[in-house]
Amino acid sequence: MFLIQNTLVSLDVLEKEFCCDLDKCHGCCCIEGDAGAPVTDEELLQIQRLLPDLMPEMTKEAREVVDKQGLAYKDQSGEQVLSIVNDKDCIFARTDHNGWCYCLIEKLFRAGKTDFLKPMSCHLYPIRLTKVGENTGVEYHRWDICHCARVLGKKSHVPLYQFLKEPLIRRFGQEWYDELELTAQEWKKQCRQK
């Protein structure tokens, strides 16, 4: 791991190659899994404010889940996560006529109706943030459904940290990202010299 400001960054974030291949996966990370996406209290407040625009677009099942248990719940590890439908689908996921999954929150953002893009955990995926003492762990979460993203990343030679440049800057800032990039370049240089 590398210490960058107050974060511990996993070597995988620098070394693994990754590039979402939506032509193959159709965004299935929003509709597969056994728990919802991690969400902060602040993000929940922002989503709550968007509910009048979101609810009419949500599936009937998703609206029923929200009515019964709310927007979020605590998962098995005690982390607050977005509610899901049928033990797998995000309440804000919809599928278009081509079978592609999209996020209703992001749809509002793209339409200029909010400045909230989506929860940070969704934007950063497959990076997950953890608490490591006083620091934040920045770790790569490997999931089988992202196999096509690993294949395309390898073919395109796109390191994970470069693929996720926008959300990493959104979360940690440009200065942090510049330091991450410099660390990655130095690490690659050292590896080539061995």
pLDDT tens per residue, range 38-93: 999 999 999 999 999 999 999 999 999 999 999 999 988 888 999 999 888 889 98
Residue 24 lies in a domain: no
> Are 109 and 137 contained in the same domain?
no
Verify that 77 and 94 share a domain, yes or no: yes
Owning domain of residue 143: 1-18+126-194
Query: Which of these three, 91, 120, 149, is where a domain ends?
Result: 120
Instruction: Determine which of 13-27, 119-133, 173-187 has the lowest per-residue pLDDT on average.
Output: 13-27
Domain membership flag for residue 23: no
| 160 shares a domain with 100 | no
Joined together, the tokens standing for residue 39 give 């969400």
Instruction: State yes or no: pLDDT of 146 exceeds 90.
Output: no
Alpha-carbon gap, residue 83 to 69, rounded angstroms: 8
Same domain, 116 and 132: no
Distance CA 34, CA 114 (A): 29
DSSP per-residue codes, 49-104: HHHHHHGGGS-HHHHHHHHHH-SEEE-TTS-EEE-EETTTEETTEEE-TTS-EEEH
Please name which of 2, 48, 1, 7 lies closest in space to residue 171, comparing C-alpha atoms: 7
Both structure tokens of 32 = 């597969």
How high is the pLDDT of residue 31? 65
61 and 41 in a common domain: yes
Within a domain: 26: no
Count of domains in the chain?
2
pLDDT class of 17 with cuts at 50, 70, 90: confident
Residue 169 within a domain:
yes
pLDDT digits (tens, 9 = 90+) for 24-45: 776 767 667 667 889 999 999 9
Q: What percent of the chain has pLDDT over 90?
A: 60
Domain boundary among 72, 100, 120: 120
In the listed set 120, 146, 177, which residue is the last one of a domain according to the structure?
120
My answer on whether 91 and 107 are in the same domain is yes
The predicted pLDDT at position 28 comes to 65
